[in-house]
Structure 1
Amino acid sequence: MKRLIACLLLGTLGQSAWALDAADQQRLNAIQQGWAHIQYETPEKQRAAEFEQLAAQATAFTAERPTVAEAWIWKGIVTSSWAGAQGGLGALGKAKDAKADLEKSLTLNPKALQGSAYTSLAALYDRVPGWPIGFGDSDKAEQLLKQALQLNPDGIDSLYFWGDHLYRQKRYAEARAALLKAQQAAPRPGRESADSGRRKEIAALLADINKKLD
């Protein structure tokens, strides 16, 4: 389970379809930057404790601003990342909590953060074990990713997770095309650490795909 969820956490995210007020945007930026620092710059053994602290911040955000879809998206992302860092029996429970958070965001504004809830949900469906252990479902993941790509066809995260999904389905040529397009995604201001970490993941997956296609 630790491996299943660890790379999810997307950090997917461009600008909201509906602008946040200044205070909410500042709060969101802090959570995004904190996530990238933990996910990509913090030693693995320290991540669970730091994600637990960040999850408390994200939970407070949703408690105080329950109608802000972006807050629920990031609560889901942080909770998933915490589960991946922690591993063990609690990981599946946290994955289910993250799923509920992301589904909540979709009821509020499915276009928030360029449809990032769809991408993050798809990553969960792709990585969590299927029935009877968990809720994993590759067909559901594909459906969600197609919805994400309709809203954000050129985003680094939507394209990365689409490529990763295709790879899992052994559709290697299609996966490579998606990942090559992901490499061309425009930089996201303020998300430099997340972009850098994601590009390394793209490069690693492309290297694996190229070996299979050679």
Structure 2
Amino acid sequence: MKTRHHLLALTLAAALGAGLSLPALALGDAARQQLDGIQARWAEVNYKLPDKQREAAFADLAQQAAQAVAAEPAAAELRIWHGIVLSTYAGAKGGLGALDLVKKAKAELEEALKLDPKALDGSAYTSLGSLYYQVPGWPLGFGDDAKAEVLLKQALAINPDGIDPNFFYGDFLLRKKRYPQAKAALEKALAAPDRAGRAAADEGRRGEIRQRLKELESRL
């Protein structure tokens, strides 16, 4: 997930109450097809579409992901991807509606963690951690760098060689001016193995990694 615009600072609504969670279930064929379609479309919208088309495309994809979750509410994988889509939709949208989308993304990712924290190699930890370091902090938002680092390290504990957990941890370290550590994490992300069926996403993510590494060159 990446955010392209700064979110406007607004006071967060009251914390969501904890509800009962359904047990995590293995994805059926229909849910797997839904997940694969959402992932593929997300990569296309996030990395291929012109900026002016991205907001509407993400709005449509968010609706599709919400419908998939409604059909399979115990599927942590679908909740993770609904959260990812909402997060990137927020970045494309900006303005007053962005923070509400981010709050909904946070709720979905937290529910995914209740269902199955290891789903999709710990991707809920990665995505939630990225939200915590990109969203404004209290009293304007829920952002918290300390929580972000804990979550990102939990993601790395589950998937130490993955492209996304290493990228987002490297990006976090870069923002915190911890440049040698950032370089190591980003280089590990760049060297991560390809993911089956995720060629477009991997290509786009590696482009982002190279941008961050280029930014680091002048700071080391």
Q: Could you say whether these structures have the same fold, taking a TM-score greater than 0.5 normalized by the shorter chain as the test? A: yes
Matched residue of 1:212: which SS? coil
Question: CA 1:126–1:54 in structure 2 vs 1: closer, same or farther (change >3 Å)?
Answer: same
Q: Residue deviations 1:178-213, cap 9 Å, x none?
A: 111111100012111100010000000001111101
8 Å CA contact retained: 2:128, 2:148: yes
Aligned-residue RMSD, C-alpha: 1.5
Matched residue of 1:180: which SS? helix
Report how far residue 3 of structure 1 moved.
2.2
In 2, the alpha carbon distance for the partners of 1:124 and 1:162 equals 12
Report how far residue 4 of structure 1 moved.
4.3
**TM-score scaled by length of structure 1:** 0.91
What are the ranges of 5 or more consecutive residues in structure 1 without an aligned counterpart?
6-16
Pairing 1:36–2:50 present: no
Q: Which residue of 1 aligns with 2:155?
A: 148
Higher helix share: 1
8 Å CA contact retained: 2:51, 2:92: yes
Q: Which amino acid aligns with 2:90?
A: A
**Among residues 128, 132, 136, which one is paired with 1:125 in the alignment?**
132
Q: Which residue of 1 aligns with 2:10?
A: none
Pairing 1:57–2:64 present: yes
Q: Residue deviations 1:3-32, cap 9 Å, x none?
A: 247xxxxxxxxxxx9752222111100000
Q: Residue deviations 1:105-137, cap 9 Å, x none?
A: 001000000000000000000100011111000
**TM-score scaled by length of structure 2:** 0.89
Q: Which residue of 1 aligns with 2:190?
A: 183
Q: Which residue of 1 aligns with 2:21?
A: none
Q: Which residue of 2 aligns with 1:3?
A: 5
Q: Which has the higher contact order (CA 8 A, sep 6+)?
A: 1
Q: Which amino acid aligns with 2:95?
A: G
Correspondence list, 1:100-111, <5 A: 100-111=107-118
Report how far residue 168 of structure 1 moved.
1.3
Question: CA 1:164–1:43 in structure 2 vs 1: closer, same or farther (change >3 Å)?
Answer: same
Q: Residue deviations 1:73-126, cap 9 Å, x none?
A: 001001111111111011011101100000010010000000000000000001
In 2, the alpha carbon distance for the partners of 1:18 and 1:174 equals 37
8 Å CA contact retained: 2:133, 2:144: yes
Q: Which ranges of 4 or more aligned residues in structure 1 deviate by more than 6 Å?
A: none
Question: CA 1:131–1:143 in structure 2 vs 1: closer, same or farther (change >3 Å)?
Answer: same
What are the ranges of 5 or more consecutive residues in structure 2 without an aligned counterpart?
8-23
Q: Which residue of 1 aligns with 2:173?
A: 166
Q: Which amino acid aligns with 1:149?
A: L
Q: Which amino acid aligns with 1:98?
A: A
Q: Residue deviations 1:131-160, cap 9 Å, x none?
A: 111100000000001100000000000000
